Amino acid sequence: DAVAFYVDQYANLESNVTLNDAVGRYLKWDKFTANSDHHQNQFKRRLNKFKTAFDSKMVSSFKKATIQNWLDGKRATGGSETEIRNEYSCLHAFFNFCVKEEFCRGNPVSKVHKPSVKKGKVQILSNDEVKTLMQFAEGVDGGSMLPYFALGIFCAIRPEEIQRLDWADINLKKDRILIDGKGQRERPVAIHPTAKAWLEPVALEEGPVAPDNCRKLFNLVRALAGFRIAKLQLNSLDLEGYEEELEDCDSKERPMWINDVMRHTGITFYVQHLDDNVNKVARWAGNSVAVIHSHYLAVRGVDDDVTEEFYGILPES
């Protein structure tokens, strides 16, 4: 009876599902495809590399040591702790799916210590950098990226949230935006008058706020504004007229773009604008009060005069 129970409950549970098959099913899973395109592409890239490395290995045969060695290998080839943490999160989500589908009994990634990333000081765009970015956002591709930069910098909306945003959710009469936020939680975001001044001339009744090729155009605007961008990231774009500005776009003399720097900029100035009202800013930004209090109240170089100049960055009449 004990053997029969084991065969029924466990042996059959660990069916002969290969990693190739499991990854394919995961990428078609409705809960996975409900994520943003950016999220899906990042997971696809990571899982395809993982799948290639282990090919036809059975999902049920993965152990803690295999996962640990995979992450350590990423470190050995120069991967940052942030990259390792993202790799861990991707594999953890994938193996959770495998457990639910009964491809394996437990999640081997859960047994590996989650990589910790020490957060540094918040870094923001200078007002001159904001001016330059907005200038090129106005000019590139007929201004299709202007809403993206205005919402990212002056409303601190996350890139993936902007990519999900429809013009029908932006109410310029009431100065409110309904965001399909992180974790599929909706939140209202107040539109500052500066953001409104940028959005009004280009606003539509409905339709996607971000263009289909926003990732490529995002790279182009940043490169034109003086940030370092690899030339291959500009492939397939029409660069006519920008040859001089882009000639050294991959130069090490150019500053690197900091992840989420537009959002950091927006939150930093908004909390200053609201006289350190961390509760209101936390609701506005979709962060916890603790995060706002810990990271955004004393950013180097930010005072009342700089804040006033920031919100004075307006489109030329």
Q: What is the pLDDT of residue 128?
A: 96
Q: What is the pTM of this model?
A: 0.71
Lowest mean pLDDT among 29-38, 105-114, 121-130, 301-310: 29-38
Judged against a pLDDT cut of 90, whether residue 36 lies above it is answered with no
Q: Average pLDDT in the 245-255 region?
A: 93
Q: What is the pLDDT of residue 5?
A: 57
Neighbours of 210 (CB within 10 A): 20
Q: What is the pLDDT of residue 50?
A: 96
Q: What is the pLDDT of residue 75?
A: 87
CA–CA distance, 180 with 154 (Å, rounded to integer): 18
For the chain, give the mean pLDDT.
90
Q: Which of 32-36, 179-183, 229-233 has the highest mean pLDDT?
A: 229-233
CA–CA distance, 132 with 150 (Å, rounded to integer): 12
What angle do the packed helices 81-100 and 19-28 form, to 10 degrees? 90
Judged against a pLDDT cut of 80, whether residue 11 lies above it is answered with no
Judged against a pLDDT cut of 60, whether residue 12 lies above it is answered with no
Q: Tokens 């930004």 appear where?
A: 285
Lowest mean pLDDT among 11-15, 85-89, 91-95: 11-15
Q: What is the pLDDT of residue 41?
A: 87
Judged against a pLDDT cut of 70, whether residue 7 lies above it is answered with no
CA–CA distance, 66 with 48 (Å, rounded to integer): 16
Angle at Cα 79 formed by Cα 75 and Cα 80, nearest 5°?
Answer: 105
Q: What is the pLDDT of residue 149?
A: 98
Judged against a pLDDT cut of 60, whether residue 237 lies above it is answered with yes
Amino acid identity for residue 195 in this structure? A
